[in-house]
Chains A and B, each alone.
Chain A
Amino acid sequence: MPVLILAQHNNKAIHPATLSTITAATRLGNNEIHVLIAGYKCENVARSACLITGVDKVLHAEAPHYEHFLAEEITPLVIGLTEDENYTHIIAPATSFGKNILPRIAALLDIQQISNVSEIIDENTFVQPVYTGNALATVQSESKVKALTIRTTLFDKAPLSVENPASLEHVNHTPAVNISRFIQREIIETERPNLTTAKIVVAGGRALGSKENFKMLETLADKLGGAIGATRAAVDAGYIPNDAQIGQTGKIIAPDLYIGIGLSGAVQHTSGLRDSKVIVAINTDEKAPICEMADYTLNADLFEVLPELIEKL
């Protein structure tokens, strides 16, 4: 029996989180994998999804009211698909896209969703972080259909392949529900790599002290070709927009290198970065939690070492 993946995309391209979700789906056993591309003017996305390794069938649904992926509009479409096919699992990335829509679908199918799956033990058994990442819960689902959101940083991105492309099937759209309406989306433009997918992330905290000082991090990030991240304290103080926040109320990241500068490493922050390969802490307090977690610590005043680091790189 097949599994259904709710693909995140922007009507132009597949989101990398979808590729990790597909890899997670391949761990469920011998299931066929169907990927739903619902949107508007997104046929090219559907075609390119046919080339993702592991995908057997791409379902393509178009309508103006799917353009902005409103949960109210996408839900009836998915419910309809589950009536035609015996899906064992419905899966979405645990991004603001997936986390918004999947519980709405799960409720109407009368199933409890399992959120932020970090490990798939078998088709019924999953591990998820709980208590802000302080613990891992192993849970078993006894429901006929399982709804899962995937902590995508823990699964590699499924590669593209031109061999055995998946079949493409157009599905009819459902009528518009019209109880909510998209007005606008302000995308924060940046020349730097995307925070969630960057290989290197330079993150700053309260100790940077001002917006001007925070610019030092930008220089460092640019030298390293990395993205900028921040703590809630730095965002609250107005050093940088909220979009850069890492953690429980921000982004989940897993770069090869994370450098935390002038931040303490509160669990609400570190829960968003604990899967980073190498962690560097620059902090005056050797007892700060970030130093206990780091692979390399510089016990030093950031205002002294940051200019030196920028100069020597």
Chain B
Amino acid sequence: MKILVPIKRVIDHTVKVRINSENSAIDTNNVKMAINPFDANALEEAVRLKESGKASEVITITIGTEKAQEQLRTALAMGADRAILIKSALPVDLGGIQSLDVAKTFYRIANRENPDLILMGKQSIDSDAGQTPQMLAALLGWPQSTYTSSITILEDGDEQLEVAREVDGGVETLRLKIPAVISVDLQLNKPRYARLPDIMKAKNKPLEMLEFVDLLQGSSHIKLLKVSEPPPRAPGVTLPDVDTLIDKLRHEAKVI
């Protein structure tokens, strides 16, 4: 089984993001960047499938600037076999390349690489879109599983995958035929840290570069008008004791 794992370079989740002074974008200058957290879970799962002999090759891919090579090298150190960078000068968070463009690009790559499984994150923590996996599955005509919290490879029958999905109110189990697209949630696993010897080894793994424009022109019809702070909440008060709290909730806020 050949697995393709798209990963996105995003601002590290521990960074408090700042809106630029023109209110046109999030400031990404000199901030710590990382692999989108959910994508790290997807990659971890792919590498585990390879380690257990169920997958033959793990290819990781990103659309981003040249700097996204850093995240691809991390993915290679975590255990991917090779990497593809689709270079783009357009922003990939807001107002530039959007999920539909990404899905169309990966559709082309999927037709070139013929993976059996595409494992991705459930959403980017910058655009918070949560669309690319479902869009890619649609374009390919493949089955999909979103918010996946466990993946089992089945040995017999004509459905090769059993997945558990976190849905409103509980957990849903599905079986899928391959090839399939699966987007994953944090519950799936705990991604490993790349060890130094693996980081050294990753330097020699293949990293191919392609141009985004060769594959696709930006095709989304969404214009970003502005980026603003969420409205602040009214300032609160610190209360001395439980009695005051109960009194406030009863008589001031009137919520109990």
Interface residues, chain A, with chain B CB atoms under 8 Å away: 68, 70-72, 75, 95-97, 99-108, 110-116, 125, 128-143, 179-188, 194, 196, 199-200, 224, 232, 242-243, 248-249, 251, 256-257, 267-268, 274, 277-280, 286, 291, 293-299, 305, 308-309, 312-313
Contact = CB atoms under 8 A, between A and B. Distances in A.
Given A130-B94, A131-B17, A143-B221, A96 B147 contact: yes
Contact of A107 (B94, B126, B138): B138
B2 interface: no
Given A135-B17, A138-B228, A142-B223, A312 B128 contact: no
Contacts of A101: 134
A233 to B, nearest CB: 12
A106 B225 contact: no
B220 A112 contact: yes
A137 B227 contact: yes
A103 B131 contact: yes
Interface of B: 11, 13, 16-17, 19, 26, 93-95, 98-101, 103, 122, 125-139, 142-147, 149, 159, 162, 165-177, 180, 185-187, 219-230, 233-234, 236-239, 241-243, 245-246, 248-249, 253, 255-256
A310 B134 CA distance: 46
Contact of B26 (A70, A131, A139, A181): A131
Contacts, number: 249
A95 B165 CA distance: 13
Contacts of B103: 107
A305 B242 contact: yes
B125 A131 contact: yes
Main secondary structure of the interface of A (DSSP, over half): mixed
B135 A106 contact: yes
B239 A135 contact: no
8 contacts: A112-B131, A131-B17, A131-B26, A137-B226, A242-B149, A251-B168, A257-B255, A278-B253
A140 B242 CA distance: 48
A96 B167 contact: yes
